[in-house]
Structure 1
Amino acid sequence: MTAPTPPDSAPVLPPAGDWVETWLSAPRFAVYLAAAESDRSRALALYEWNAQISAALLHDLAHVEVGLRNAYDRALSARWPGPPHWTLAGERVFAPVYRTRGRRRVDVNEKPRDNLRHAVINAGGPAARPGKVVAELMFGFWRYLSSAAHEKALWVPALHRAFPRGTDRAIHVDGPVGRLHTLRNRVAHHEPLLTTDIVGRFADLVGLADRLEPQLGQHLRVASNVPGLLAIRP
């Protein structure tokens, strides 16, 4: 008679055989095999760790993205009080601003106007609540509002008010937000983070959260699983 398995024993994972390449594809798994010096079990453990820390970063990124978009919404609403709400005044808020790109003159506000227009449609049209429109706008929309191209039109009259006095647009906001936007794209596409400076990106997250609201920064430090996962990387 077989003895029962103790209830506190850890489940046994199947060996990291050829099924892993069938699941992930050989090129994808090869990245982890190289990092694990061809140790298949360790490579699979690294893949699991990568998935776990990606999920943890996505959790933290979502917190900061929501904080950023709400802070920007408040700042823009104060600058363009309406009616209509700024989300329905895209032609005014994002009036054409032309820059030379190579041999072409480009309206740097064309894309945000288009993003806003599509967000209004997705939110239900011109009768949609402003909060619904704001929620429909992707991180990429908010990311580029702090760029140098929008400094005079948006940062100086409005967006700097989302942060404490002494905040530098390029150093404290646009740089970190740009790096976090790149990180979010990698996480969203399930890319390896094995060579990513996760410590630096977590510092960007916490630093931006501190500037948006110090208590948010403290909440992130306590709620995040990123530091714990960094400590147990296979």
Structure 2
Amino acid sequence: MENWLSPARYAVYLTAADGDRARALALYEWNTALACAVLRDLSHFEIALRNAYARALDTTWTGTGHWLDDPGSPLRAPLIRMRKSRRGPRRRVDINDKTRGAIDGARKRYGRTAPPGKVIAELSLGVWRYLSTSAHEKTLWVPHLHRAFPPGTHRATVDQLIGALHELRNRAAHWEPLLTAPVALRTKDLLTVTGLLSPELAAYIQHTSQVGPTLDRRP
């Protein structure tokens, strides 16, 4: 397994298995199954989130072009904020730069005439996740995205939930160890935020998710 997983990664499972090589392999297989179960549930959430945001923007955006492409769109217009630099003092950063790049990349792959739905489907959870941050409160949340949730929903609450789920999604998608990850807590977060987006979806996930049964089968 050392060559297969790399010595460092294998050591994580071997340590968790108290040096039992057979159990270490069983833990690795269990971790893979758990990641698959997590990603299955998160895939439903991701699609619901992007569709809810798209509907909210479709309803409220009044620019001349589509909100994916219009230079004045809150997803495209330069949004300058001061951010800490790893190598020095704070610097000015356009926090819409990556979103523009993601949209333009999808347009390049599918052409300028591709329907909006095709482009929207190409944008990763990483794009949608950051649209609820405090930096976007005045440009996106207040005029547009709050409509994706029930009246009175707080942006900070939504952002905290989505951020935690995005972090778990990245760990699962890269097949990182979930041995100590708060998967059960994140499942509750998932049901909370999907309940805000779509109570029907939250009920469906709760009744069909394999995350709980998989957690119970840990070697």
- Segments of 5+ residues of structure 2 without an aligned counterpart are 84-88
The residue that corresponds to 1:219 in the other structure is 204
Query: Which of 59, 84, 92 is the aligned partner of 1:78?
Result: 59
Secondary structure (helix, strand or coil) at the match of 2:93 reads: strand
State how far apart, in whole Å, the 1-side matches of 2:51 and 2:26 are.
38
Query: Which of 22, 29, 44 is the aligned partner of 1:41?
Result: 22
2:123 pairs with 1:137: yes
Q: Percent identity?
A: 53
- Matching of residues 99-114 of structure 1 within 5 Å: 99-101=81-83, 102-114=89-101
Question: Under a length normalisation based on structure 2, what TM-score does the superposition of the two structures give?
Answer: 0.93
Query: Which of 154, 160, 163 is the aligned partner of 1:175?
Result: 160
CA deviation after TM superposition for structure 1 residue 158, in Å: 0.4
* Superposition RMSD in Å: 1.4
State how far apart, in whole Å, the 1-side matches of 2:194 and 2:44 are.
9
The residue that corresponds to 1:121 in the other structure is 108
Secondary structure (helix, strand or coil) at the match of 2:175 reads: coil
- Matching of residues 145-156 of structure 1 within 5 Å: 145-156=131-142
Q: Is the 8 A contact 1:49 1:233 kept in 2?
A: yes
Secondary structure (helix, strand or coil) at the match of 2:178 reads: coil
Aligned pair count reads 213
Q: Is the 8 A contact 1:91 1:113 kept in 2?
A: no
Secondary structure (helix, strand or coil) at the match of 1:104 reads: strand
Secondary structure (helix, strand or coil) at the match of 1:100 reads: strand
CA deviation after TM superposition for structure 1 residue 92, in Å: 2.7
- Give every structure 1 segment of 4 or more consecutive aligned residues whose post-TM-superposition deviation is greater than 3 Å: none
State how far apart, in whole Å, the 1-side matches of 2:16 and 2:151 are.
44
Q: Is the 8 A contact 1:88 1:126 kept in 2?
A: no
